[in-house]
Structure 1
């Protein structure tokens, strides 16, 4: 039963990270094209795109949050390992699990409050000045990031616990 859920979570995490990487690539291209077009229009025709800077900021914010989620999936986010590097293996493993569980709690709280924030009346009626679009669309990256990061960490912890359990069973 655990194996099926672990595999299902792992496949879901891999699928989500594939989509995240594809969206990040598309956003990088869109950002580059936006900057090039804006520069050409600004310097060649003296008529820049009035919305380019605001849209560029939102694109960068989305890319940053997605890149962090991708890093969490690959377990390549920044860690301070100076202290844990000198610990014995069981204590190091316990610190790893504790830190991952703390991250899960923080992401779950962030998901709850970011959903409340995005659906609040204050944000519902907020508009992007130069784009004329609702800002809640841009703000969706925070709950989206929280949900995908929760999935990535949960899948990784499920895989690690299944692997640790399999090792423990084989040793007996």
Structure 2
């Protein structure tokens, strides 16, 4: 007997855990961003003594929130889409169209992940310090390959579900 919920593959459990982790990291990043901005505004306009690193921290936290949000959007298939043509296709055509879209997302994530790793591991980025935070820039940029890896994992999950729908048929609706 297994502790897993019925019908859940080990891969689905991994993606579910990754999804929950990304949600909590996103919440933490959002909270730190909000606190940083509130404190920065208070110091700048009330105390007339701006915090010199607050703008840079806000910029990097916003970038992290954006990439984390993109991962979560891929997981939930919440990206903006024009489905005019896809909705007019028969069931198998919709599955093939969705498969093409997912393969395109996977291709994008793999290519971006690969080149972002090369970029981050280059000496020009590894040795670069951020101007105000004095942090190694690779630590700030590492969200790009991490988010691309997460997107690839979530896209593979969608592809597996589409293949199951195509070859096995729908069992109680499409899995998300």
In structure 1, the partner of 2:48 is 46
Residue pairs, 1:1-172, within 5 angstroms: 7-167=9-169
Scaled by the length of structure 2, the TM-score of the pair is: 0.87
In structure 2, the partner of 1:3 is none
In structure 1, what is the Cα distance between the partners aligned to 2:91 and 2:164? 18
Q: Deviations for 1:100-135, whole angstroms, at most 9, x for unmatched residues? A: 112111211111111111001111111110111111
- Look up the SS of the partner of 1:50 in the other structure: coil
Offset, 1:163: 4.2
8 Å contact kept, 2:19–2:72: yes
Q: Deviations for 1:69-95, whole angstroms, at most 9, x for unmatched residues? A: 001111111221112222222222211
Higher relative contact order (CA 8 A, sep 6+): 1
Q: Runs of 4+ in structure 1 displaced over 3 angstroms?
A: none
In structure 1, what is the Cα distance between the partners aligned to 2:116 and 2:131? 22
> Is the deviation greater in 56-65 or in 40-49?
40-49
In structure 2, what is the Cα distance between the partners aligned to 1:167 and 1:82? 24
Please tell me the root mean square deviation across aligned C-alpha atoms, in Å. 1.5
Give unpaired runs (5+ residues) of structure 2.
1-7, 171-176
In structure 2, what is the Cα distance between the partners aligned to 1:43 and 1:97? 52
8 Å contact kept, 1:10–1:156: no
Q: Deviations for 1:20-61, whole angstroms, at most 9, x for unmatched residues? A: 110111111111111111111112221111000000000000
- Look up the SS of the partner of 2:84 in the other structure: coil
In structure 1, what is the Cα distance between the partners aligned to 2:21 and 2:67? 14
Give the helix-richer structure, 1 or 2.
1
